[in-house]
Amino acid sequence: MNEIDTSTFKVLYIEDEDLAREKFGKFLKRRFGEVVLCENGVEGFMKFQESFTKNEKFDLILSDINMPKMDGLEVLENIRKYDKEIPVIFLTARSESEQMLKAINLHVESYILKPLDFDMVNEKLDKVCKDIYYKKMFIKQEQEMKNYLDVLDQEALVSKTDAKGVITFVNNGFCEVSGYSREELIGKPHNIVRHPDVPKDFFKEMWETIKAGKIWTGVHKNLAKDGTTYFINSKIFPIFELGGNNVKEYMSVRFLVTDLEQQKRENHKNYLSQLTNYKKT
């Protein structure tokens, strides 16, 4: 039983024998969301080309090899000029070494010999479909991550440092708020934006936390290049070496604290100050 959801898969099946195309086409339509049937290589390649141009690509192609007008190897050869990665499975009644060698060079995914053994077909399709599914999921997650990073780049101040706190990356938001250019920041210690009013113990506690491999969160103020002060809510987390416990670098994500929140903080400080003086009195 196939565990992968193939209801969104788009499949192209090319077969010149009417009965074989009809029978195996029904089988494929039970497994996949959309199956396009073609009766020769020329028609099959044109369908592929049309879908590719519209960015409605097929996920899988199954094709007979020996066909009139354009055989399966010619179809694959033309397809590879457009798409180097789409999986292609050949169905053939013959197993000729010369054909197989050429197909391997064109990165054919698999061979299925006729007459079709549907248990074997299911087994091979399961394997190919898993690869297609995980690749689709990876591409989807990659796009979602890109969208997230695009939003983050617009809303947050992001920086990355090596294990010693030397800046290796800053985003546009960091440059804009700090007033420094990317060239002025890369290679400099992160304390280039440190505000002198922030006590050393504050940063000592921060470094002890992240060096221990933990995430540090806090609100503090920084100093821009022009001498102005800005408040930020920071989250700094360590990035470990692959397969190890050693910290390789640190990434910081910061959000500007709004004027309203700054005012609340000032009001709170004033209240505490007044309360302290009242108690003393």
> For residue 42, what are the domain limits?
10-150
CA atoms within 13 A on the CB side of 60: 31
- Rg over alpha carbons for the chain, rounded to the nearest Å, is 31
- 8 Å CB contact between 32 and 10: yes
Together in a domain, 174 and 225: yes
Q: How many CA atoms lie within 13 A of 232 on its CB side?
A: 26
The number of folded domains in the chain is 2
> Where is 178: in which H helix or E strand?
helix 172-178
Residue type, 177: V
Residues 167 and 262 in one domain: yes
Please give the pLDDT value at position 182. Answer: 95
Residue 151 has pLDDT above 50, yes or no: yes
For range 144-166, the mean pLDDT: 85
Segments of the chain assigned E as strands: 10-14, 34-38, 60-64, 88-92, 110-113, 157-162, 167-170, 216-223, 229-240, 247-256
What confidence tier does 33 reach under pLDDT thresholds 50, 70, 90? Answer: very high
Judge whether 224 and 230 are in contact, CB under 8 Å. Answer: yes
Residue 155 pLDDT: 79
Band (192; pLDDT cuts 50, 70, 90): very high
Amino acid present at 81: K
Give percent of the chain above pLDDT 90. 59
Quote the pLDDT of residue 269: 56
Per-residue model confidence (pLDDT) at position 44:
95
* Alpha carbons 124 and 207: distance in angstroms, whole number: 53
State mean pLDDT over 196-225.
94
- What average pLDDT does this structure show over 123-132? 90
Which of 21, 79, 72 has the alpha carbon at shortest distance from 46?
79
Q: How confident is the model at residue 1 (pLDDT cuts 50, 70, 90)?
A: very low
Band the pLDDT of 115: cuts 50, 70, 90: confident
> Is 1 inside a domain boundary?
no
**Tens digit of each residue's pLDDT (9 = 90 or more) over 48-94:** 999 999 999 999 999 998 888 898 899 999 999 999 999 999 988 76
Asked if residue 2 is part of any domain, the answer here is no
* pLDDT the model gives residue 246: 86
The percent of residues above 70 in pLDDT, for the chain, comes to 85
Contact of 237 with 217, CB cutoff 8 Å: no
Q: Which of 98, 119, 150 is the last residue of a domain?
A: 150
| Residue 275 belongs to some domain of the structure | yes
Do 106 and 79 share a structural domain?
yes
Least Cα distance to 125 among 88, 99, 92 occurs for 88
| DSSP code per residue over 130-172 | HHHHHHHHHHHHHHHHHHHHHHHHHH-EEEEEETTSBEEEE-H
Residues 92 and 19 both lie in one domain: yes
